[in-house]
Amino acid sequence: MLKLEHVSYQVSEGEQTLSILNDINLVVEDGQLIVITGPNGGGKTTLAKVIMGLVTPTSGSITYNGTDITNLGITERAKLGISYGFQQPPRFKGLRVRDLLELASGEDKLSREKCCLYLTRVGLCADDYVDREVDASLSGGEVKRIEIATILARQSGLMIFDEPEAGIDLWSFSRLIDTFQSIRQQRNNTLLIISHQERIISLADEILLVADGQIQQHGSKDDVFPFILSNTVTGCRFMNERADA
Ligand SMILES: Nc1ncnc2c1ncn2[C@@H]1O[C@H](COP(=O)(O)OP(=O)(O)OP(=O)(O)O)[C@@H](O)[C@H]1O
Ligand SMILES: [Mg+2]
């Protein structure tokens, strides 16, 4: 179980203090598929990074399976079974796809069959990719799918995906949906998926709506989805206020 209590994250910008996350309280039970959605700049990625240890909260605490991980680094959290796929994944010049999968899986020598299994789950053919370097020669969608495959290979207890749909073609996206669905059915891993995509949102056991650094809504699809659809007014706050006047 993942538990966040009163988690806040503030940054100083000149004289100003910006509140990026504001008093986040959240419990995620094992085996759940939770989708975090909300407007751009609402704080979703920051929340994921706080859970992964890439960002240290200004206050509050995080526990994972009873261990206080608030002050642990990324590597320690990874060892405890948390993994995170970046919204914009990095490239690793000099490392091949098979090396990344091998590192992620923790196996000394990952067989071609297993590489193929993980790559197929994100719609890639192992023959075309397994020996390629994860460098600038790969397209954005290819890098994104390779990163998702490495997270699947890691088989962490808690997998966090940041907009897995971004840049991914329709065919691979359908494959990815099937993959998420089958992980959810097995209930061995907890999935926290940041997404704007309706098909991913509709897989969720629970939906979190994060906006202005806060959890604005948290509940079942049936509770939260109608709220999302009825609150699609976005844009400039000042213009909206003027329109309301
Ligand atoms: N270190 C920082 N310094 C200043 N502002 C920051 C910092 N980190 C995040 N922010 C701001 O905090 C807000 C939340 O950012 P975050 O990346 O978490 O949003 P998001 O919900 O993931 O958005 P998107 O849907 O566009 O990916 C944004 O306005 C961002 O500019
Ligand atoms: Mg983001």
Output the pLDDT for position 70. 97
What is the 41 CA–ligand 1 centroid distance (Å)? 5
Q: Domain limits at 136?
A: 2-235
In a domain, 38, yes or no: yes
Quick check: CB of 21 below 6 Å from ligand 1? Answer: no
Question: What is the tens place of the pLDDT at every residue in 7-34?
Answer: 999 999 999 999 999 999 999 999 999 9
Cα 86 to Cα 147, 157, 188, 227, distances in angstroms = 8, 17, 22, 28
Residue nearest to atom 12 of ligand 1 (CA): 20
Q: Which of 35-49, 102-116, 217-231 has the highest mean pLDDT?
A: 35-49
Residues flanking ion ligand 2, Cβ below 5 Å:
44-45, 87
What is the 133 CA–ligand 1 centroid distance (Å)? 30
CATH of residue 142: 3.40.50.300
In a domain, 139, yes or no: yes
Tell if the pTM clears 0.85, that is, is over it.
yes
Give the position, in ligand 1's atom list, of the atom nearest the Cα of 43.
Answer: 18
Quick check: CB of 140 below 6 Å from ligand 1? Answer: no
> Which of 11, 17, 20 maximizes ligand 1 atoms within 8 Å of its Cβ, making it the mutation to test the pocket?
20
Residue nearest to atom 26 of ligand 1 (CA): 40
Question: What is the tens place of the pLDDT at every residue in 128-173?
Answer: 999 999 999 999 999 999 999 999 999 999 999 999 999 999 999 9
In a domain, 114, yes or no: yes
The span from the CA of 151 to the CA of 213, in Å, is 26
Residue 245 has pLDDT above 70, yes or no: no
In a domain, 53, yes or no: yes
The span from the CA of 161 to the CA of 76, in Å, is 19
Output the pLDDT for position 238. 62
**DSSP, residue by residue, the chain:** -EEEEEEEEEEEETTEEEEEEEEEEEEE-TT-EEEEE-STTSSHHHHHHHHHTSS--SEEEEEETTEE-TT--HHHHHHHTEEEE-SS---EEEEEHHHHHHHHHT-SS--HHHHHHHHHTTT--HHHHTTSEESTTS-HHHHHHHHHHHHHHHT-SEEEEESTTTT--HHHHHHHHHHHHHHHHHTSSEEEEE---HHHHTT-SEEEEEETTEEEEEE-HHHHHHHHHT----S-HHHHHHHH-
> Which of 10, 17, 44, 50 maximizes ligand 1 atoms within 8 Å of its Cβ, making it the mutation to test the pocket?
44
Decide: residue 87, CB within 10 A, 0-12 exposed, 13-18 middle, 19+ buried: middle
Residue nearest to atom 2 of ligand 1 (CA): 11
In a domain, 154, yes or no: yes
The span from the CA of 222 to the CA of 232, in Å, is 17
Residue 67 has pLDDT above 90, yes or no: yes
pLDDT-derived band at 242, boundaries 50, 70, 90? low
Quick check: CB of 18 below 6 Å from ligand 1? Answer: yes
* Number of domains the chain contains: 1
In a domain, 55, yes or no: yes
> If you compute the radius of gyration of the chain from its CA atoms, what whole number of angstroms results?
19
Average pLDDT score over residue span 35-61: 96
Within its chain, how far is the Cα of 216 from the centroid? 19
In a domain, 198, yes or no: yes
Quick check: CB of 40 below 6 Å from ligand 1? Answer: yes
Output the pLDDT for position 226. 80
In a domain, 202, yes or no: yes
